[in-house]
């Protein structure tokens, strides 16, 4: 049973899904990194205005910002919602959304000739979509579910609230931002665009009931190794082979703290790239962990290995290390209301809670560090970042219902007492 306008959700999602808004790391000095994101950002600004919000496009950050004014006299703190405009690094040219009504739970043909299928044997989560309106790509592009589904969920909520002014609510701020997939969107967000907003939510990957308020702490490291080139026939005591030194570094990394042996709350060190010659070698790696002490210990390990090898090889290693983002739980553990509010909304709607870790990062990591605690909800899709992406109209509809309930619950708890219970340990 739908709560919102399913026809609006379907048409709006397909409209925005067709737009190629891929972001590009190599263009990171541009804001946003692709002109198509500017186009869609301004289009969304106009869409917000048409719904009835005060809205503008921030040229410096690439964010479309909207404000739905409160319709009560209560002193209730503003609340915010974020979704991102860009899509991941997979083909996004000529996206052709395919609508499969009353999905029967069986294999979906994306391209018979090329043998491309969306099969529940490979993707068991499809079982939750049976009987719903399933939307996929044609198998040759991504669909853009991440995060066009989140955008449409927000627009649906706003449309409903403006069409039903009898539903009381406080101030609501909306941020549709660029370049989330490459880690620049939330970093560039200007908190002045969300004045006095106490809490917010990103609407990233997942199904109804999913909720994440723990992400990785993240660091990237670049190691450069300087060798000495000498003719091999005269190399005795003179040549220093940078490739050999590189292997010495790699051999000292922990063998079991790698992604392929990690799950749940395990952290890891991942070597992204290692190239070497006699003259020089370069290593690129990332460090990830949920636990702050284990995270900083991994950072220190890299520093210690470099120091040991510099002592052994006479200062031929240089290290550059950069913190990318921090676990939002580091902040949210002391501000439990933002978590409890969402869980209370789930409970009132009869949605089963599925609290899990987010083994990555979101715009919420950066926004949380700017003073607005921002955990992650869901967007009603699956198989993100590739040809097998999908979404269902009904699950986006459920997202809109959840967002509306959060807004209502925030006002209710402001009036009747807030749920500040300490966060439970679910792990």
Among the options 10, 86, 389, 394, which is catalytic? 86
Q: Any binding-site annotation on 181?
A: yes
CATH superfamily of 6-214+328-416: Zn peptidases (3.40.630.10)
pLDDT tens-digit series, residues 40-62: 999 999 999 999 999 999 999 99
Task: Examine the residue annotation and report whether 180 is marked as an active-site residue of this protein.
Answer: yes
The CATH number assigned to the domain with range 217-325 reads: 3.30.70.360
Q: What is the pLDDT along the chain (427 residues), one digit of tens a residue?
A: 466 799 999 999 999 999 999 999 899 999 999 999 999 999 999 999 999 999 999 999 999 999 999 999 999 999 999 999 999 999 999 999 999 999 999 999 999 999 999 999 999 999 999 999 999 999 999 999 999 999 999 999 999 999 999 999 999 999 999 999 998 999 999 999 999 999 999 998 889 999 999 999 999 999 999 999 999 999 999 999 999 999 999 999 999 999 999 998 999 999 999 999 999 999 999 999 999 999 999 999 999 999 999 999 999 999 999 999 999 999 999 999 999 999 999 999 999 999 988 888 889 999 999 999 999 999 999 999 999 999 999 999 999 999 999 999 999 999 999 999 998 755 4
What pTM value is reported for the model?
A: 0.91
Q: Any binding-site annotation on 385?
A: yes
Cα three-residue angle 333-339-342, rounded to 5 degrees: 180
Q: Any binding-site annotation on 84?
A: yes
The domain spans of the chain are 6-214+328-416, 217-325
pLDDT tens-digit series, residues 134-162: 999 999 999 999 999 999 999 999 999 99
Q: Any binding-site annotation on 164?
A: no
Mean of the per-residue pLDDT values of the chain: 95
Among the options 10, 147, 171, 180, which is catalytic? 180
Task: Examine the residue annotation and report whether 86 is marked as an active-site residue of this protein.
Answer: yes
3-class SS letters over the chain: CCCCCHHHHHHHHHHHHCCCCECCHHHCCCCCCCHHHHHHHHHHHHHHHHHCCEEEEECCCCEEEEEECCCCCCCCCCEEEEEECCECCCCCCCCCCEEECCCCCCCEEEECCCCEEECCCCCHHHHHHCCCCEEECCCCCCCCHHHHHHHHHHHHHHHHHHHCCCCCCCCEEEEEECCCCCCCHHHHCCHHHCCCCCEEEECCCCCCCEEECCECEEEEEEEEEECECCCHHHCCCCCECHHHHHHHHHHCCCCCCCHHHCCCCCCEEEEEEEEECCCEEEEEEEEEECCHHHHHHHHHHHHHHHHHHHHHHCCCEEEEEEEEECCCHHHHCCCCHHHHHHHHHHHHHCCCCEECCECCCCHHHHHHHCCCCCCECCCCEECCCCCCCEEEHHHHHHHHHHHHHHHHHHHHHHHHCCCCCCCCCCC
């Amino acid at each position: 049973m739908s709560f919102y306008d399913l026809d609006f959700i379907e048409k709006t999602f397909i409209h925005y899904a067709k737009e190629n808004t891929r972001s590009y790391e190599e263009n990171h000095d541009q804001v946003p990194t692709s002109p198509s994101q500017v186009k869609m950002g301004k289009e969304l600004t106009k869409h917000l205005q048409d719904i009835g919000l005060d809205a503008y496009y921030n040229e410096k950050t690439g964010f479309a910002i909207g404000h739905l004014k409160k319709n009560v006299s209560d002193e209730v703190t503003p609340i915010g919602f974020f979704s991102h405009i860009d899509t991941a690094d997979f083909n996004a040219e000529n996206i052709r959304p395919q609508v499969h009504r009353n999905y029967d739970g069986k294999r979906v043909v994306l391209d018979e000739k090329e043998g491309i299928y969306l099969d529940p044997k490979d993707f068991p989560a499809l079982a939750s979509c049976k009987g719903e309106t399933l939307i996929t790509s044609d198998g040759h592009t991504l669909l853009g579910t991440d995060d066009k589904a989140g955008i449409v969920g927000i627009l649906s909520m706003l449309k409903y609230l403006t069409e039903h002014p009898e539903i009381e609510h406080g101030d609501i701020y909306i941020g549709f931002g660029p370049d989330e997939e490459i880690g620049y969107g939330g970093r560039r967000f200007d908190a002045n665009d969300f004045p006095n907003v106490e809490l917010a939510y990103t609407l990233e990957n997942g199904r109804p009931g999913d909720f994440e308020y723990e992400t990785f702490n993240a660091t990237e490291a670049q190691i450069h190794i300087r060798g000495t080139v000498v003719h091999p026939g005269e190399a005795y005591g003179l040549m220093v082979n940078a490739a050999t030194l590189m292997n010495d570094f790699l051999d000292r990394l922990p063998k079991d703290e790698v992604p392929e042996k990690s799950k749940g709350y395990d952290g890891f060190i991942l070597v992204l790239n290692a190239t070497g010659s006699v003259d020089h070698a370069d290593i690129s790696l990332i460090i990830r962990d949920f636990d702050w002490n284990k995270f900083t210990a991994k950072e220190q390990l890299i520093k210690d290995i470099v120091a040991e090898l510099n002592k052994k090889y006479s200062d031929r290693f240089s290290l550059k290390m950069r913190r990318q983002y921090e676990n939002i739980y580091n902040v949210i553990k002391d501000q439990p209301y933002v978590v409890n509010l969402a869980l209370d909304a789930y409970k009132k709607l009869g949605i089963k809670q599925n609290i899990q870790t987010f083994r990555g990062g979101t715009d919420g990591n950066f926004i949380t560090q700017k003073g607005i605690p921002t955990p992650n909800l869901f967007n009603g899709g699956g198989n993100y970042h590739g040809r097998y992406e999908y979404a269902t109209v009904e699950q986006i509809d459920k997202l809109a219902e959840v967002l509306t309930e959060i807004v209502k619950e925030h006002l209710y708890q402001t009036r009747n007492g807030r749920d500040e219970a300490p966060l439970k340990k679910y792990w």
